[in-house]
Structures are given as structure tokens and as C-alpha cells.
Amino acid sequence: MPAPGSLGLDQLTDKVGGAALYADLRRYYGVDLADLWHGTLTPRRVLWLIEHLPEDSATVAALRGGPEHRAWTTPAHLLATVVDAVQLGTWTTIAANARRRPTPPKPLPRPTQPRRRAARVVTVAEIAAHQQNGTV
């Protein structure tokens, strides 16, 4: 966790999104995030609950890179690795006994970390154009 208490919860909410946190706290613990404003729930307690969310939760998926990571728990990654190893072993046997080399198998697709986009540089001319249009 980035920081204790409300600062840490604020940082986590910025990173993950409030909807994922809200849904996970309701689903797994029956806790309403709105109770923070009613005084019946503390930010530190929310962080403790979030820390122990299962790896198939929306919050953990968001921290890993997005919703495509939701189904990719540790057992799913291990199973995909086993499937890739079996395919590679089968291909090796076929390639060793074949006259022509067969095409190697492709590994099962897995979710990847999203690539960060490079920061776009805004020119003075663009800022001036937006100010003239009243869109700033």
C-alpha cells in the first residue's frame, strides 16, 4: 500500500478507480464504501480489507493492468504455462522425427501490461487556439 489512512486510500482510488473498489468491498465483505462519509468505516480499515482481496477481484485486476487480467489468477497462469510446455514437448518430438521442420507452436495468449503512452507536448499555438475558441 502506498501510504496509511486516507492518503493511501486516495492514492489507491486514483490508481484503480472507485467503481472497482466499491464493487469489490460490497461483493467480498458486504461493506459499503459510502460508510466512510457516515463515520462507521475508517480509511485504514478499508485498506486492510483491500489488502486481502482475492486475486480475481476487480481491484487486483486493475492494479495488474486492467480488466483483461481479471480471470488470470496464479493457477490460470500456471495452467497456461503447462499447456505451452506440453505443446512445445510435442512439437520437439515431431520435429525430431520429421523430414521437414514443422512450425513451432504459439504460446497461449496472456494479458500484458498496458504500455504507457509518451506524454504529448502541447504547443503554445495549440493553447492559444483553445483560448480563442473558449475551450480552456
Give me the chain's average pLDDT, please.
Answer: 83
Q: Measured between alpha carbons, how far is 29 from 50 in angstroms, rounded to an integer?
A: 10
In which residue are the cell numbers 504455462 written? Answer: 81
In which residue are the cell numbers 496464479 written? Answer: 74
Residue 14: closest CA among 2, 28, 30: 2
- In this prediction, residue 62 has a pLDDT band, given cuts at 50, 70 and 90, of confident
Q: Which pLDDT score is estimated for 1?
A: 41
pTM above 0.95, yes or no: no
Task: Look at residue 87 and give its three-state secondary structure.
Answer: helix
Helix (H) or strand (E) segment spanning residue 120: none
8 A C-beta contact, residue 53 and residue 66: no
Residue with more model confidence, 25 or 4:
25
- In single-letter form, the type of residue at position 7 comes to L
